[in-house]
Amino acid sequence: MNGKPPGDNASGNGALTDETRKFAKYQNDPNGFIETALYGFVWSRQREVCTSVLENRRTAVKSCHDG
């Protein structure tokens, strides 16, 4: 920790950097971030999980593996 509050940049004025500003619009859109910023594909169940993580304090996802 550098002792500065979150959001402070090197100039010390707390303004958003260009990099932060570019991704700030996805703060409430994880699916959009994955598809647009990361050029990924989100399956329907993944979309549900992302939305649940955004809207709920806890999200549990049943998973499985072969073995």
Tell me the C-alpha distance between 50 and 57, whole Å.
12
Q: Tell me: the pLDDT tens digits for 23-39? A: 888 999 999 999 999 99
Mean of pLDDT values over 3-9: 53
Say whether pTM exceeds 0.95.
Answer: no
Does residue 4 sit within a domain? no
- Per-residue pLDDT band for 6 (boundaries 50, 70, 90) equals low
Domains in the chain: how many in total? 1
Residue, of 66 and 18, whose pLDDT is higher: 18
| 22 band by pLDDT with thresholds 50, 70 and 90 | confident
Residue range of the domain that includes 30: 23-55
Q: Is residue 27 part of a domain?
A: yes
**Burial profile 27-42: b = 16 or more Cβ within 10 angstroms, e = fewer:** eeebbebbeeeeeeeb
Task: With respect to residue 12, please indicate whether it lies within any of the assigned structural domains.
Answer: no
pLDDT at 41 over 70: yes
Amino acid (one-letter) located at 54:
L
